[in-house]
C-alpha cells in the first residue's frame, strides 16, 4: 500500500480504505459476476457510514450482492421482504405484556441489527416505509415514548424494482433523502452473463453463499477507513465548486425540486470516498463529478414537461456538471 505526501510535507495514510476496496472487489467478485459499479458503490456506502437504495429489474443480483457485502464485512445481517400487507411492527418490533412479570417488554424487530436488507422496499405500503425514517437518520427507534439505540454500524440497503412494475409504491421524497446514494443495476454484459451460466452449471447458487470461501475483513479495517475519510483535505475552491453544483439544481428549469443541504453533505462525504478509492488524501473536482450522479439522482424531481421530453435525473445532473465552471 502507498503513503501519499501532502504539500506541507505531512504524510497521510489511506491504507485501510485502499485495502477495503481491493479486498472487497476480489472477495465479492468470487460470488458476483461483473456488476463492478454495484460492488464499488456498495463499498462506498459502507465506507461513508450511509444507506443505499439499489434499483434494478428482478434477477440482476441485487439481493445477492447485499448479502455478500454483509458477509465480507462480518456484519450481523437481517432481511425483511417487502409486501403490500407489511406493518411497521414487522420491522421495528413491538411491546409485549408478560402476565408473569406484569410488565411490558420490547420484542425487537429486524431493524435491531448491524446490516438490514429491506428487499423490494417499494412493495411496502407508505406507512411501513416511513417506519424506517428515524432509524436511518438517527440510528434509534422510538417506541411507546422510549428511544432504543441501534448499533453504530447500522446500515440499510434497500432494493426496489423500477416504478413501472406492478404492485409498487413510490418512496416519498423524505424517505429518498435518507439514502446516501442510489445504485442503478443494469443487465450484465455478454461475457458476465456467460460467466453466470458457467457458475450455475457447476451448481453455484445464491443459497450456497455460506459455503463460499469469502475471506471477511475485520471491522477494525472499516473503522480505520472511516477515520481516513474524515481526514481527507478539502480546499476552499472545492467547497465552492461542490456548492455551485448543488445550488444550481434548485434553479434548473427541468427540475421542480432540487437537492437539499443534506445532499450537499452527502456529496462531500461520497466525493471523499472516491478520493480514498484512488489513493488520495485530498479532493479534486473529478471526485465531485463521480459522486454527483449516485448522490443526487434520487433526490431530484423532474418537471412533467421534462419527463415528456425524455429527460431523467442522471441526464440532468450531467448537464448541470457540464454547465458549472471548474475551479481554477
Residue 217 clears pLDDT 80, i.e. is over it: yes
User: What H or E segment, with its residue span, contains residue 23?
Assistant: helix 15-29
Query: Which residue from 95, 110, 89, 98 is spatially nearest to 145, judged by alpha carbons?
Result: 95
Residue 211 clears pLDDT 70, i.e. is over it: no
Q: Retrieve residue 136's grid coordinates.
A: 436511518
Q: Is residue 5 assigned to a domain? A: no
- Between β-strands 11-13 and 146-149, what pairing exists: parallel, antiparallel or unpaired? unpaired
CATH code of the domain in which 201 resides: 3.40.50.300
Instruction: Check whether residue 26 and residue 148 sit in a common domain.
Output: yes
Please, is 163 exposed, middle or buried when counting C-beta atoms within 10 Å of its C-beta (0-12, 13-18, 19+)? exposed
Instruction: Check whether residue 184 and residue 260 sit in a common domain.
Output: no
Residue 293's pLDDT is what? 96
Q: Which of 185, 217, 249 is the last residue of a domain?
A: 217
Model confidence pLDDT, tens digit, residues 32-54? 887 888 899 999 999 999 999 99
Instruction: Check whether residue 48 and residue 137 sit in a common domain.
Output: yes
pLDDT grade, residue 237 (50/70/90)?
very high
Q: How far apart are CA 206 and CA 35, in angstroms?
A: 16
Model confidence pLDDT, tens digit, residues 239-297? 999 999 999 999 999 999 999 999 999 999 999 999 999 999 999 999 999 999 999 99
Q: Which of 155, 185, 217 is the last residue of a domain?
A: 217
For residue 202, the 8-state DSSP code is T
Total domains in the fold of the chain: 2
Model confidence pLDDT, tens digit, residues 169-179? 778 888 889 99
CATH code of the domain in which 308 resides: 1.10.8.80
Contact 104, 111 (CB under 8 A): no
Query: Which residue from 264, 263, 273 is spatially nearest to 298, judged by alpha carbons?
Result: 263
Instruction: Check whether residue 67 and residue 155 sit in a common domain.
Output: yes
pLDDT grade, residue 299 (50/70/90)?
very high
Domain that holds residue 42: 19-217
Q: How far apart are CA 281 and CA 265, in angstroms?
A: 18
Q: Is residue 281 assigned to a domain? A: yes
Q: How far apart are CA 12 and CA 55, in angstroms?
A: 36
Instruction: Check whether residue 174 and residue 53 sit in a common domain.
Output: yes
Residue 10's pLDDT is what? 40
Measured in degrees and rounded to the nearest 5, phi and psi for residue 320 equal: -65, -45
For residue 312, the 8-state DSSP code is -
Q: Retrieve residue 106's grid coordinates.
A: 420490547
Instruction: Name the more confident of 208 and 94.
Output: 94
Q: How far apart are CA 106 and CA 142, in angstroms?
A: 11
Query: Which residue from 67, 74, 154 is spatially nearest to 114, judged by alpha carbons?
Result: 154
Residue 2's pLDDT is what? 37
Instruction: Check whether residue 203 and residue 236 sit in a common domain.
Output: no
Residue 102 clears pLDDT 90, i.e. is over it: no
Query: Which residue from 270, 263, 268 is spatially nearest to 301, judged by alpha carbons?
Result: 263
Query: Which residue from 158, 182, 156 is spatially nearest to 270, judged by alpha carbons?
Result: 182
Average pLDDT over residues 146-150: 87
Contact 111, 141 (CB under 8 A): yes
Q: How far apart are CA 10 and CA 4, in angstroms?
A: 9
Amino acid at each position: 500500500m502507498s503513503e501519499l505526501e501532502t504539500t506541507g510535507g505531512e504524510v497521510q495514510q489511506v491504507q485501510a480504505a485502499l485495502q477495503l476496496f481491493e479486498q472487497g472487489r476480489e472477495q465479492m467478485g468470487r460470488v458476483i459476476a461483473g456488476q463492478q459499479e454495484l460492488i464499488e458503490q456498495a463499498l462506498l456506502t459502507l465506507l461513508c457510514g450511509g444507506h443505499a437504495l439499489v434499483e434494478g429489474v428482478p434477477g440482476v443480483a441485487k439481493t445477492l450482492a447485499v448479502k455478500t457485502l454483509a458477509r465480507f464485512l462480518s456484519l450481523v445481517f437481517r432481511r425483511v421482504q417487502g409486501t403490500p400487507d407489511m406493518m411497521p411492527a414487522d420491522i421495528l418490533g413491538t411491546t409485549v405484556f408478560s402476565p408473569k412479570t406484569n410488565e411490558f417488554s420490547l420484542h425487537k424487530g429486524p431493524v435491531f441489527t448491524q446490516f438490514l436488507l429491506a428487499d423490494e422496499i417499494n412493495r411496502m405500503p407508505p406507512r411501513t416505509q416511513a417506519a424506517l425514517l428515524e432509524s436511518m437518520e438517527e440510528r434509534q427507534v422510538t417506541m411507546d415514548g422510549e428511544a432504543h439505540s441501534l448499533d453504530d454500524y447500522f446500515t440499510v440497503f434497500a432494493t426496489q424494482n423500477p416504478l413501472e412494475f406492478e404492485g409498487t409504491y413510490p418512496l416519498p421524497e423524505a424517505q429518498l433523502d435518507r439514502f446516501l446514494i442510489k445504485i442503478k443495476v443494469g443487465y450484465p454484459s455478454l461475457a458476465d452473463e456467460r460467466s453466470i451460466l458457467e457458475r450455475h452449471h457447476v451448481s453455484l447458487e445464491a443459497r450456497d453463499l455460506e459455503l463460499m470461501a469469502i475471506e471477511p475483513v475485520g471491522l477494525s479495517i472499516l473503522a480505520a477507513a472511516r477515520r481516513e475519510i474524515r481526514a481527507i483535505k478539502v480546499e476552499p475552491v472545492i467547497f465552492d465548486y461542490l456548492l455551485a453544483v448543488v445550488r444550481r439544481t434548485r434553479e434548473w428549469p427541468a427540475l421542480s425540486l432540487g437537492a437539499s443541504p443534506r445532499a450537499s453533505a452527502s456529496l462531500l462525504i461520497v466525493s471523499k470516498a472516491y478520493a480514498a478509492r484512488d489513493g488520495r488524501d485530498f479532493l479534486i473536482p473529478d471526485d465531485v463529478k463521480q459522486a454527483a450522479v449516485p448522490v443526487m439522482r434520487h433526490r431530484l424531481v423532474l418537471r412533467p414537461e421534462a419527463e415528456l421530453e425524455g429527460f431523467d435525473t442522471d441526464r440532468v445532473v450531467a448537464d448541470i456538471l457540464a454547465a458549472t465552471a471548474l475551479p481554477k
